[in-house]
A and B are shown apart, each in its own frame.
Chain A
């Protein structure tokens, strides 16, 4: 992994030394935590990079598979020394290293994905993926016959828990009897374990498999069993054409373009950018033909309501697993509640530990 990084860095330095980038071009660097691969988290970010690469006066470069921690600091430092104008780091663990580098290079703009720290020249950004997960929950709730939905999940952190809760609320909105069973794999990308997790959910009667994992392993398990599945990150239908119903997806391109334009015009400001469906940063992939038209209509209606702001996903009364009211009737959860969410809503079977 390190060797690869070195080669990439050398190539990067060579490319810059050779003067491929025009002097007036905005140079944008990306740091990815995993290899770009064919689907998944870093792939989605790289699609965003390719989107802005087509813009006038922009050149981009990236380094993939950068471990979180000191290695990432070195990579960002290198980009900064090469006079990059804008650097995106797309993993939680890059937060502190980026903050350190940002303080040393006040003229460069830094953007960190999924964290919470800021500096004058460093902002953070993320998407309200839970909104798209709510929509995918409607599909799952409508398609299940056993009323058991399976959810293969990575790590019990607020981002993932929020997604599971939104998915459950979406499913319950069309099917109040539905239950969501959660299995933690403690991996982001391990096809073997994640497939096995999905199989264990299938064994307890789940007939729709959803996932918060980057590998398509769970999709494979669902297709082998002949049940439905819901992807994540990008449209995963290529991996399981017979079972893939839809996927909550990331669409970073327009957002990255917006940031690039702001930096070019000098209107960029340091803040927490947290956009949702209304901005297109998160979305639901096109639904499969297997989803009946009336369900698709329901999903689209909810999507429009969320987009226009007339509906909030987390609107009370919402109770946790023990039946305690967490969000009062008529109230909507604040961003603070959402960002620190560490409890499951009623209807989820599993623990948040």
Chain B
């Protein structure tokens, strides 16, 4: 492979990594508040459908993008109701949310299959896009890629440097102590679930507004599950989520390009790469850190007035 192939490969890595990045950031926010939401895949596809429908009927992709977040938030609210109000099992509720979301999007979206909607096109940043090598990789992407990258430092700043972020993290680490300190535990958990769902919805919207402008059932194609795994790979840190998402995007884009260049490796082996990498990453992450960076109260429900 020469530079003529590597530059488009890296640009494609960013594109296919972006939906995963949005979803991973959302899940980090949710898990930091102590709630495990395995419904990422379902939330993503509902976000993708909402974005597609809005873009199709209003012709306004920005409005569609915003609404995809709201749709993601609304569907995550069911997880909030089950786990925060009724203190149901978070794993079961999340899995149910995935199945529900996939089914709902499939049911509502069937009449739209094969149709196109307006979306985001490539937006070259003036000045920067002409830089050699870096320009075509980083600065000739669509608007949503820039948005996703901007969220990374914002989320880091919120979690690490603000009082609200500290409260949210304390709720995820030791809710009883947080409650004793006068923090409204349930409120922060709701914020984690809803704001996280909002970002995951955006991840879905990226698929139907920018990555392609088409709708089909099962558009998310397992990307939500990769995001769940990436949260662990990232040690719940937004910066590492960026790296991880682009790494996975890169592997997906790489295997197709390897075929295009001409290889004797069977395509079935190449297609396994992203998923094999998921397994390897999980093994490495748990071996190295013993999950030390996981929020201590992750997945544990709390009594409202404990």
- A interface residues, Cβ below 8 angstroms from B: 1, 3-4, 34-40, 43, 64-65, 150, 156, 181-186, 189-193, 195-197, 199-201, 203-204, 206, 215-217, 220, 239, 349-351, 353
Contacts and interface: CB of A to CB of B under 8 A. Distances in A.
Contacts of A216: 114, 116, 214
B107 A4 contact: yes
Interface stretch (B8-16, B179-187, B282-290): B8-16
Contact of A203 (B16, B216, B260): B260
Given A1-B217, A196-B256, A197-B256, A184 B267 contact: yes
Contacts of A34: 113
B291 interface: no
Task: Give the most central of A37, A38, A40, A203: most B CB within 10 Å.
Answer: A203
A183 B260 contact: yes
Contact of A181 (B8, B116, B262, B265): B262
Size band of the B side of the interface?
35 or more
Task: Give the most central of A183, A186, A191, A195: most B CB within 10 Å.
Answer: A191
A190 B221 contact: yes
Given A156-B267, A220-B213, A182 B107 contact: no
Contacts of A185: 256
Contact of A353 (B115, B256, B266): B266
A204 B5 contact: yes
B78 to A, nearest CB: 18
Given A193-B221, A203-B4, 10 more contacts: A3-B107, A37-B114, A38-B114, A181-B262, A185-B256, A192-B219, A195-B211, A196-B252, A200-B257, A204-B5
B135 interface: no
B110 interface: yes
B16 A196 contact: yes
B116 A350 contact: no
Given A39-B114, A192-B211, A203-B8, A183 B216 contact: no
A181 B261 CA distance: 8
A40 B113 CA distance: 10
Contacts, number: 114
B22 to A, nearest CB: 15
A242 to B, nearest CB: 14
A351 B253 contact: no
B260 A150 contact: yes
Contact of B267 (A35, A43, A217, A351): A351
Contact of B12 (A36, A199, A349): A199
Nearest to A4: B107
A217 B207 CA distance: 12
A195 B5 contact: no
Contact of A215 (B103, B216, B221, B253): B216
A321 to B, nearest CB: 10
A24 B83 CA distance: 58
7 contacts: A1-B106, A184-B267, A190-B219, A192-B16, A192-B211, A203-B257, A350-B259
A195 B219 CA distance: 12
A201 B113 CA distance: 25
Nearest to A236: B114
Contacts of B212: 191-192, 195, 217, 220
B207 A192 contact: yes
B98 to A, nearest CB: 15
B273 to A, nearest CB: 12
B275 to A, nearest CB: 12
A199 B221 CA distance: 19
Task: Give the most central of A38, A192, A195, A349: most B CB within 10 Å.
Answer: A192
B259 A186 contact: no
A216 B16 CA distance: 18
Contact of B103 (A1, A181, A193): A1
A1 B252 CA distance: 28
B123 interface: no
A181 B16 CA distance: 22
Interface string B194-205: 000000000000
B214 A353 contact: no
B265 A4 contact: no
Nearest to A199: B12
A34 B252 CA distance: 25
Contacts of B107: 1, 3-4
Given A220-B213, A351-B266, A192 B221 contact: yes
A164 to B, nearest CB: 13
Nearest to B265: A351
A65 B266 contact: no
Q: Which 5 A-B pairs have the closest CB atoms?
A: A38-B114, A37-B114, A353-B266, A37-B113, A184-B267
B218 interface: yes
A35 B113 contact: yes
A196 B260 contact: no
B252 A183 contact: no
B214 A220 contact: yes
B17 to A, nearest CB: 12
Interface in B245-268: 252-253, 256-257, 259-268
B271 interface: yes
Contacts of B271: 184, 186
Interface in B225-280: 252-253, 256-257, 259-268, 271
B103 A200 contact: no
A351 B271 CA distance: 14
A150 B262 CA distance: 12
